Amino acid sequence: MGPIAGQLISEQIKLEILTVIATSQHQGVSAQRSCSLLAINHRRIVRWQQHARLGQGLADRTPGPKEALHRVLPAEIEQIVALAGSARYADLSHRMLAVTAWDKGLFQASFSTVYRVLKERNLMRARGPGGRHNGNSKPPVRKALSGPNQRWCWDISYLMTFQKGVYLYLYLLLDEWSRKAIQWRIRWHQTAEESRWLLEGGLVAQNILDLPEEQRPELINDRGRQMKAKPIQRLCEDHGMPQLFARPRTPNDNPFIESAFSTVKRAPAYPGRFLDDGQAVAYFERYFTWYDTEHYHSGIDYVTPQQAHDGLRGQIVNQRQTKKLAQRLRRREQNQQQKNNPQKLKNHNKIPASLVA
């Protein structure tokens, strides 16, 4: 391999080199000797000569096929666009659209494929009420979790009412591993007593008191007066549950509950203000049912918190991967048939109208 071999050579220069080699061969100089003098690999010359004989041209081309054999099918593109444009799924991000389609059996396409299709059709603008993630959050150092009910996080958030300066309060207890809302309460005041009822409700709902102390969850919370109150500390001591405290002014030490509150208040149906506690309770009964059983959570491989809490996360993710690989093979077969047969193949698989209405 000489200096010419490592360079990009234009089509015109390639033709001139072939001409020189052909002329030299007529004068008794072998092609290999000419290649040695020109410092170019002989096999490269043979390849150029073959392309020239077949009329393929000598210009450098991008290696590989122009289109992947497993590229998304036209019918699938129509399905992606139809799903994204439906009123029912207008607030979902491209990732949530993909996961929804996987589990409803509509199509099997990766996040990047759905993103590319939607971007090409100008459907990626302002999908959902949230903004971009800043990417700066770092999780606190914690022991690794292997299942539900090993660490709970909890906090209290303001809910606005129609009266200035008057607030309702949402008490929320979350399982950190599955992100399931273990327990929640709506109250007019922030008190240690209400916090104790929240935690005790979680203990009863998850049958924690039937477990040995070493298997009971630890709690993580910030340093609010309700969290540091003696009734809460006494409850943790009595039931053998360690209590961890986030650092002052460091919400990233307890990021999962903060994220849950953000999800609550960015939900498309969130009213923003509540008339009274009855209206708030009615709303959050519907919301947390949806959150636990229908919401595809990005932090747990896009399964629902209830599925993760029940130990189904690995099974669901593996099933999705199997379906995705199977669809990839089907696309290769159909695209190969299309390549070999000029007649266009028609795919009549359409999304049921009930799913996009």
* DSSP class per residue in 26-86: HTT--HHHHHHHHT--HHHHHHHHHHHHTT---S---SS-SS-TTPPPHHHHHHHHHHHHS
The reported pLDDT for the residue numbered 296 is 94
Ranges of residues in the chain with a pLDDT under 50 are 1-3, 5-6, 131, 133-134, 137-139, 348
The reported pLDDT for the residue numbered 220 is 93
Coil, strand or helix at 299: helix
Burial class (CB in 10 A: 0-12, 13-18, 19+), 159: buried
Residue 28 tokens, joined = 């008794």
List of long-range contacts for 8-11, beta carbons under 8 Å, 24+ apart: 8/60, 9/60, 10/59, 11/57, 11/58, 11/59
The reported pLDDT for the residue numbered 263 is 92
Strand 181-187, strand 218-221: pairing: unpaired
Alpha carbons 224 and 73: distance in angstroms, whole number: 55
DSSP class of residue 178 equals T
Cβ pair 100, 89 in contact under 8 A: yes
pLDDT in tens, 88-105: 888 888 899 999 999 888
The reported pLDDT for the residue numbered 284 is 97
Question: From residue 235, how far is each of 18, 175, 226 by CA, in Å?
Answer: 88, 18, 13
The reported pLDDT for the residue numbered 188 is 96
Alpha carbons 245 and 18: distance in angstroms, whole number: 77
Those residues whose C-beta lies under 8 Å from the C-beta of residue 339, and which sit 6 or more positions away, are 69
DSSP class of residue 213 equals G
Radius of gyration of the CA atoms of the chain, in A? 31
The reported pLDDT for the residue numbered 269 is 92
Cβ pair 171, 182 in contact under 8 A: no
Cβ pair 153, 221 in contact under 8 A: yes
Q: Of 89, 83, 92, 77, which Cα lies nearest the Cα of 298?
A: 92
| pTM for this entry | 0.67
Q: Which helix (H) or strand (E) holds 234?
A: helix 230-238
Torsion angles phi and psi, residue 303, rounded to 5: -110, 170
Alpha carbons 171 and 277: distance in angstroms, whole number: 13
